[in-house]
Chains A and B, each alone.
Chain A
Amino acid sequence: GAVVSQHPSRVICKSGTSVKIECRSLDFQATTMFWYRQFPKQSLMLMATSNEGSKATYEQGVEKDKFLINHASLTLSTLTVTSAHPEDSSFYICSARDDDLQGRNTEAFFGQGTRLTVV
């Protein structure tokens, strides 16, 4: 089945540095990808919608200058956490659906997630 790959799966960074997380659709194209954040024992919260070739759409309360999203190709979206702080420590998950199945009932594929720890 279709796979969404996220990298890295775990990262530890120092406070004030930036971290880039990659999300790739391995065998399908995805014009739109989604980024979620999940804190311990909580549900997934949508952060932003990543659109290939255009600006991302951010959810209310998510700082676009802090969480930079680049969707440069139909198979790759990146999330950069800039000037990371300990409160940014969380589990970040991306998601995508197959462009070829637009309009039909399709499942969303999720990456394996990235555990970010800011020290």
Chain B
Amino acid sequence: LAKTTQPISMDSYEGQEVNITCSHNNIATNDYITWYQQFPSQGPRFIIQGYKTKVTNEVASLFIPADRKSSTLSLPRVSLSDTAVYYCLVGEDTGRRALTFGSGTRLQVQP
């Protein structure tokens, strides 16, 4: 499975856009990029997944350059409730394979 590198922590203020970049230099052809969010004392929650270019849903956008060696999760206008740990995962998305979590990025949103 491709190893990922993310910033350990980030700080932001309410209303700002937050971009969290993840490096995955060894991504394989069949690998997808998936982001999960985890609040304290809760299980992770799926945010978004993509393979290339740009994906957008009601929560976030995911930008993936052509070489796919990195990806950026974009959270528009964050609020205090977006304070959480965000994990970037890379791998083949098959049901029988466990997800491998890296260290994640701890986002702290201030008022």
In the complex, A32 Cα to B97 Cα: how many Å?
Answer: 9
Contact with A along B56-93 (1 / 0, CB 8 A): 00000000000000000000000000000001000001
In the complex, A72 Cα to B40 Cα: how many Å?
Answer: 30
Q: Is A112 an interface residue (CB 8 A)?
A: yes
The stretch that binds B, out of A60-68, A81-89, A98-106, is: A98-106
Q: Is B29 an interface residue (CB 8 A)?
A: no
On whether A103 and B44 interact (CB within 8 A), knowing A44-B101, A46-B100, A95-B99, the answer reads no
Interface size class of A (residues with CB under 8 A): 20 to 34
**Chain B residues with CB under 8 A of A46:** 98-100
**Chain B residues with CB under 8 A of A95:** 43, 98-99
Q: Is A119 an interface residue (CB 8 A)?
A: no
Question: What is the CB-to-nearest-CB distance from B50 to chain A, in angstroms, rounded to a whole number?
Answer: 10
Tell me if B's interface is mostly helix, strand, loop or mixed.
loop
In the complex, A49 Cα to B41 Cα: how many Å?
Answer: 22
Contact with B along A100-119 (1 / 0, CB 8 A): 01110111111111010000
Question: B95 is contacted by which of A6, A98, A113 (Cβ under 8 Å)?
Answer: A98
Question: What is the CB-to-nearest-CB distance from B103 to chain A, in angstroms, rounded to a whole number?
Answer: 5
Closest residue on chain A to residue B92 by CB atoms: A105
Question: What is the CB-to-nearest-CB distance from A63 to chain B, in angstroms, rounded to a whole number?
Answer: 18
**Chain A residues with CB under 8 A of B96:** 31-32, 102
In the complex, A28 Cα to B88 Cα: how many Å?
Answer: 25
Contact with A along B2-31 (1 / 0, CB 8 A): 000000000000000000000000000000
Closest residue on chain B to residue A4 by CB atoms: B43
Question: A108 is contacted by which of B99, B102, B103 (Cβ under 8 Å)?
Answer: B99
User: Are B49 and A105 in touch, CB under 8 angstroms?
Assistant: yes
Q: Which B positions have Cβ atoms within 8 angstroms of A?
A: 32, 34, 41-46, 49, 87, 93-96, 98-104
Q: Which A positions have Cβ atoms within 8 angstroms of B?
A: 4, 6, 31-32, 34, 36, 43-46, 49, 91, 93-95, 97-99, 101-103, 105-113, 115
The 10 closest A-B pairs by CB, nearest first: A110-B43, A107-B46, A97-B95, A44-B101, A34-B98, A43-B101, A105-B93, A102-B95, A93-B43, A113-B43
